[in-house]
Structure 1
Amino acid sequence: MKKHRIFIALLLIVAVLFAWNARLFWIQVAAARSFTERGIDLVGNSVIQREQGIVLDSGRGDFYDRHGVSLTGNELKVLTVYPIREDDTPSAVERRRAELANVARILKIPTEAWSAFVQGLRTPQMWSQNGHPVDLTEEQAKKVEAMGLTQVRVMTYKQRYEPSQTASQVLGYISQNPDRVTRQYTDQFHKGELQLTSKIGNAGLEKTFEPWLQGIGPTSVSLFMDAGKHAVGGLDVRTIRPDSPYYPLKVVTTLDKPLQETIEARMDQLGIAEGSVVVLDVNNADAIAMASRPAFDPEHIDLAQGSWSNRAVKAVAPGSIFKTVTAAAALEEKVVKPDDVFDCEGELGQYGFTCWKKEGHGHITLEEGFAQSCNIVFAKVAELVGGEKLEKYARKLGLDTQVGWTDEVPGQAAFHQVDGEEKGQIYHSEALKKDEGALIQTAIGQRDVLVSPLQAANLIVTLLHQGKVLSPRLVQEIRFQNDRLYQSFPSKRLDTIEERAIQPATAKELLTFMGDVVDHGTGKALKAAKWSLAGKSGTAQISLKGGKPGENHWFIGYGPTEKPRYAVAVLVQNVPEGQRNKSIALFQGVMDALAAAEGRVK
């Protein structure tokens, strides 16, 4: 009887163990199926657990200038360093110490700093200084490679941005943005193509061209180690990269890199803390250069300080450059002729409105009033035009609207190339159009008027195209990695504006006015430029932080006048009142750089 009970107990134990094993088997199969369905390779991951790697190239597409010169993705020779443990015998320790000293000597850095870096490693890293990977010379790379070290390897690293990145405000930056990943790229997130930690474009062209810039996978280098962080024999260092002749894509901009660098350097030489320059090709309104100050380091972004802001597309008070619009409205409506005479005594008493020339200009024509930037002339002209007509022509000429390239492209109904572009403003409210005091202030680009440098440069292009408003591009095409065309963005007119904003005769008259400005008006200092130039100056009264009086200094124009090639708008922004006006010097510097690039002078 006792044996019978023991036998039954054993059967129960065997049954329980069998059921338990069956359950474990089912869990393993189900889990494996689940991981497989979600694209998770368990065998691969078991290898990854032994793998310590560094991403050498994110696989993201790069930007190029109009001549095919790279704006991002500079390739560097770098040191990748791995936290390997080796034996601790006295001879091995001495050997490693000598190797480290030799590497430090090749790199020309203190041995102590290099040793501390290597010994403090917990994960693989690149040797960096000031937050940027160190680019080795060819000689340094050869010497380190010749040492044959396991722990230190020379690799090619694709650096997204340079320490002093050209056109940094135009290109923008990439960073983590979990909210946008889940909201804007939902499908890719659910497919596992993007993670919450993925870096995506969050400003500038990086943001607007994000769908095309996403690659098909990174290039990484890995060193396989065991649990004790010893190198696994036979595996060593392995480079893993996507194999595709088509990706990543190349985004070809309209910018000219050497010219962009020259203009940025000129802004820095003049000590311009805040401002921008826009250079447009007058043939098609392509942005050849778009510089903005202050610049910023896209690798180290301080969003709390508002470090990214492309001032070339931000609308600010334009001052007297807006007199171009007032003159256009008056000539189109035929309420005044270029040789009509006005009387400037220095002020209009009923509004406390004054001219910059306190004693007044005396008897002066509209044309001469433009050259001398007489406030009284344009106040009286605006009274003849009226508030609604003034706003109408401002809009027709591409102000109070976004002018950057917008159109339908595959997958995007209304694709806008220019990130953060502001449309500007003429009046703050409808009632002000009928307010005479507001009208005369508006006529000279004060009160509520806001214009961006991009709009201002495009206004010049509109005049040179006899009243046709074009839409500036920043990107002309996208190409596959093998240079086959993927997508083009043809130059075009601004869709929101009719065929012509103004008549050709009016545009021609205004261009003549601009010639007078340089010949004997407020821009006569530009007669010293390498090219013959024409344009319009502007000084806007503004309030700085703390309520202190300040100014925006502008100059917009074109050159050479005989055969116009470029339209330029320069803005020196938020200048304390009474400080030297640098806008004309900057305008000349830009035009001289363009003349040098063209290889021809007047």
Structure 2
Amino acid sequence: MISTKSFSKNKVNLIQESVDQRTHRFTINDGRGYFLDRNGELLSTDVKPQVVVFPNLFTSNWPVATIGNILQIPAEDVAKMIGQLKKPSALSLQKELSLDQMNDINKLEIPGLYAQLVTRRKPIPFANHIIGAVGQDPDLIKRKYGDKLEKGTVTTSTKTGKNGMQYTFDPFLISEGETQYIYHVDRQGHPLLGLDVKYRSQTNPLYPLYVKTTIDKKMQETVENALDVHGIKDGGAVLLDIESNELLSMASRPLFTSKTIFNHGNNMTSQQIPGSVFKIVTAAAAIEENRVQNVKKYDCSLNIYGEKDERQLGNLNVEDSFAQSCNKTFGELANEMIRTNPDFIEKYAEKMGLLHYNGWQGEVYHLNSFTHFYQEEIGQIYSSKKKHSHYQSSLAVSQTAIGQLDVKITPLAVANMMATIARGGERYEVKAAKSVNFANGTELIEFEDHTAGDQKLSSYTMMRLQSLLLNVVKNESGTGHALQALPFQVAGKSGTAEKGEGNSLNNKWFAGYFPAEQPRFALVVVDLKHDKTNRTIPVFADIANEIMNDANKSEHK
């Protein structure tokens, strides 16, 4: 009696709850903002024409035969479908309604029967980690949206973003009110006399807002399909547009479900052990510091421990060592450089952007550090748990230089590094969204390009790195030689990282860009449960081939 609007520690509004108990409703649109791909196609929602029925209002006076004729199904099937409904629902029709059929249904003006474009959230698996999921979180609503709660534009049951872009863009996407059909009933569930079904929609025609992402829906499908076909159960892929430095696709495995949202994070924005992909950093340092002598050969029949290497590669110069991924060469180069520059590994990893956030960040309205990527991690070279002196042994230096020991970087950062090399050294933050727009299409926010860091490597170093990456594929003994079968040139680097601690499975990488002579796309594929099957190169080949085919077709239209 006393606390009707704020009952118990959960602050339940008893008046609102009693109204809800006496209300039957069908939600046409939950009012939450949505995502479009770069071409304007819906990503997070589906909009379908449907016939909405309030079964409690169904009477023998309904012209069932006419309804059946419009829907092209027998009258008895219409009656049966409606009779099975327990609450306001959309009819399960075999064929999708046309706009003409919708108009014909609405012309009948039957109270309780409406044809509407109904918006529903897409099943989670598509663009699972980058788009993310929504759900109810009353505590978050109270914490973040207290002002909206006070005004009544949201309730504690309003859905909010749980992860991905649904979370980072939540301040723009949160519902300002649902669009619903509503009618009131008595305690037996019968309609209260004199009360018709009411149509309630948002009062502000500029809402809901939508986010125009940089994602290409077709490319996202290509990437997802390639990961599944080749059986990558733990890992993923990142695809960037080199010219604009925009994210075209990001997929991570395993997928999460509504029950495991926080069990399976996005592997593409999380720290991973890179293995030989990190040799790009060591090579860049050696070139920049003028340590590369083409005539000098390294004994690649030995590993970094001085023992016989199982691959027995023989004596190789730096270029062939990079192509065939000889650990000994890069271990020796690192130990040479560290004598005069103790922090060279960190210095060059930083210059290559591996120790920074790579996703777009900036101030947007009152949001000081708005970011496009949910919980993106930054890379590390050394473990904070160990003293720096631990890394002064020559073996530790060698292990670090080949991306082992405590080196961890994100696949997103590696993709951005590849795009930077392909461009000749210009580094940008990766955008996942172009703009936030009002419902009528007017731009609310445009995300401008952000350059990332002013620590550039020389154009000569970039040119040499491009040559090294190309040789990985062109060299008959190169670790990426299988990609020569593609009808265009690829430049890239493979990597295999031992996880240690008795783990029989390794991390396997292939990071590159294509076509090498006029780079358009940067792609990183990671298999975090690599056994004896190399899945990363076939996945890379399939994705690159399909994307180039589609790009060539669209140019010839």
What's the TM-score once normalised by structure 2's chain length?
A: 0.86
Which one of 384, 388, 393 corresponds to residue 336 of structure 2? 384
Contact 1:73 1:159 in 2 (8 A): yes
Which one of 333, 340, 344 corresponds to residue 296 of structure 2? 340
Q: Which amino acid aligns with 2:509?
A: W
SS across alignment from 1:84: helix
Deviation of 1:498 after TM superposition, in Å, equals 2.4
> CA offsets per residue over residues 119-165 of structure 1, 9 Å max, x none?
xx3x534568xxxxx7852279769879987666543310122x365
Whole-angstrom distance in 1 between the partners of 2:148 and 2:207: 17
Deviation of 1:414 after TM superposition, in Å, equals 1.5
Q: Which amino acid aligns with 1:586?
A: V
Contact 1:76 1:136 in 2 (8 A): no
Q: Which amino acid aligns with 1:513?
A: L
Residues 86 and 549 of structure 1: CA distance in aligned 2, closer, same or farther (over 3 Å) = closer
> CA offsets per residue over residues 509-560 of structure 1, 9 Å max, x none?
011001111101111111111321111111111259xx44111111111111
Contact 1:531 1:591 in 2 (8 A): no
Look up the match of 1:419.
374
Look up the match of 1:124.
88
Contact 2:27 2:180 in 1 (8 A): yes
Which one of 223, 228, 253 corresponds to residue 213 of structure 2? 253
Q: Which amino acid aligns with 1:591?
A: A
Look up the match of 2:151.
191
1:291 aligns with 2:244: no
Contact 1:75 1:158 in 2 (8 A): yes
Q: Which amino acid aligns with 1:456?
A: V
Deviation of 1:331 after TM superposition, in Å, equals 1.3
Moved more, 192-201 or 106-115: 106-115
SS across alignment from 2:225: helix
Look up the match of 2:8.
none
Whole-angstrom distance in 2 between the partners of 1:246 and 1:125: 28
Look up the match of 1:493.
451
Aligned positions of 1:463-474 closer than 5 A: 463-474=421-432
Residues 421 and 135 of structure 1: CA distance in aligned 2, closer, same or farther (over 3 Å) = farther
Look up the match of 1:137.
96
Contact 2:49 2:96 in 1 (8 A): yes
Whole-angstrom distance in 1 between the partners of 2:441 and 2:119: 19
Aligned positions of 1:392-541 closer than 5 A: 392-428=347-383, 429=386, 430-494=388-452, 497-500=453-456, 502-520=457-475, 521-541=478-498
Whole-angstrom distance in 2 between the partners of 1:136 and 1:244: 34
Whole-angstrom distance in 2 between the partners of 1:294 and 1:443: 30
1:369 aligns with 2:321: yes
SS across alignment from 1:530: coil
Deviation of 1:105 after TM superposition, in Å, equals 10
Task: Provide structure 1 residue ranges, at least 5 long, that are not aligned to the other structure.
Answer: 1-26, 33-39, 129-133
Contact 1:461 1:470 in 2 (8 A): no
Residues 239 and 390 of structure 1: CA distance in aligned 2, closer, same or farther (over 3 Å) = same
Whole-angstrom distance in 1 between the partners of 2:275 and 2:418: 16
SS across alignment from 2:231: coil
Whole-angstrom distance in 1 between the partners of 2:149 and 2:304: 63
Contact 1:324 1:510 in 2 (8 A): yes
Q: Which amino acid aligns with 1:535?
A: G
Whole-angstrom distance in 2 between the partners of 1:170 and 1:568: 16
> CA offsets per residue over residues 482-513 of structure 1, 9 Å max, x none?
2111111111112xx3241x111111101100
Deviation of 1:233 after TM superposition, in Å, equals 5.7
CA RMSD between the two structures: 3.8
Whole-angstrom distance in 1 between the partners of 2:447 and 2:540: 29
Contact 2:396 2:405 in 1 (8 A): yes
Look up the match of 1:10.
none
Contact 2:245 2:430 in 1 (8 A): yes
Look up the match of 1:73.
45
Deviation of 1:226 after TM superposition, in Å, equals 4.4
Deviation of 1:188 after TM superposition, in Å, equals 2.7
Deviation of 1:217 after TM superposition, in Å, equals 1.4
Residues 60 and 111 of structure 1: CA distance in aligned 2, closer, same or farther (over 3 Å) = closer
Contact 2:253 2:267 in 1 (8 A): yes
> CA offsets per residue over residues 393-427 of structure 1, 9 Å max, x none?
11221112211111112111121211021112211
Whole-angstrom distance in 2 between the partners of 1:499 and 1:138: 58
Residues 296 and 126 of structure 1: CA distance in aligned 2, closer, same or farther (over 3 Å) = farther
1:56 aligns with 2:56: no
Deviation of 1:384 after TM superposition, in Å, equals 1.2
Pick the structure with greater CA Rg.
1
Whole-angstrom distance in 1 between the partners of 2:38 and 2:201: 28
Deviation of 1:588 after TM superposition, in Å, equals 1.0
Residues 229 and 136 of structure 1: CA distance in aligned 2, closer, same or farther (over 3 Å) = farther
Look up the match of 1:564.
519
SS across alignment from 1:493: coil
Deviation of 1:390 after TM superposition, in Å, equals 1.0
Deviation of 1:319 after TM superposition, in Å, equals 1.1
SS across alignment from 1:138: coil
Contact 1:388 1:433 in 2 (8 A): no
1:157 aligns with 2:118: yes
Whole-angstrom distance in 1 between the partners of 2:42 and 2:372: 19
Whole-angstrom distance in 2 between the partners of 1:344 and 1:86: 82
Residues 568 and 111 of structure 1: CA distance in aligned 2, closer, same or farther (over 3 Å) = same
Deviation of 1:360 after TM superposition, in Å, equals 2.5
Contact 1:328 1:506 in 2 (8 A): yes
Deviation of 1:81 after TM superposition, in Å, equals 4.3
Instruction: Specify which structure has the higher proportion of helix.
Output: 1
Whole-angstrom distance in 1 between the partners of 2:497 and 2:45: 40
SS across alignment from 1:278: strand
Whole-angstrom distance in 2 between the partners of 1:137 and 1:453: 41
Contact 2:82 2:91 in 1 (8 A): no
SS across alignment from 1:52: strand
Aligned-pair identity in percent equals 31
Residues 459 and 334 of structure 1: CA distance in aligned 2, closer, same or farther (over 3 Å) = same
Deviation of 1:178 after TM superposition, in Å, equals 2.2
1:320 aligns with 2:276: yes
Look up the match of 2:165.
205
Contact 1:104 1:110 in 2 (8 A): no
Deviation of 1:460 after TM superposition, in Å, equals 0.9
Contact 1:100 1:114 in 2 (8 A): no
Residues 328 and 45 of structure 1: CA distance in aligned 2, closer, same or farther (over 3 Å) = closer
Whole-angstrom distance in 2 between the partners of 1:548 and 1:109: 63
Residues 327 and 190 of structure 1: CA distance in aligned 2, closer, same or farther (over 3 Å) = same
Contact 1:530 1:595 in 2 (8 A): no
Residues 482 and 366 of structure 1: CA distance in aligned 2, closer, same or farther (over 3 Å) = same
Aligned positions of 1:82-101 closer than 5 A: 82=54, 84=56
Whole-angstrom distance in 2 between the partners of 1:548 and 1:110: 59
Whole-angstrom distance in 2 between the partners of 1:149 and 1:233: 16
Q: Which amino acid aligns with 1:78?
A: Q
Look up the match of 2:204.
244
Contact 1:246 1:482 in 2 (8 A): yes
Look up the match of 2:544.
591
Q: Which amino acid aligns with 2:539?
A: L
Would you say how many aligned residue pairs link Structure 1 and Structure 2? 538
Residues 560 and 150 of structure 1: CA distance in aligned 2, closer, same or farther (over 3 Å) = same
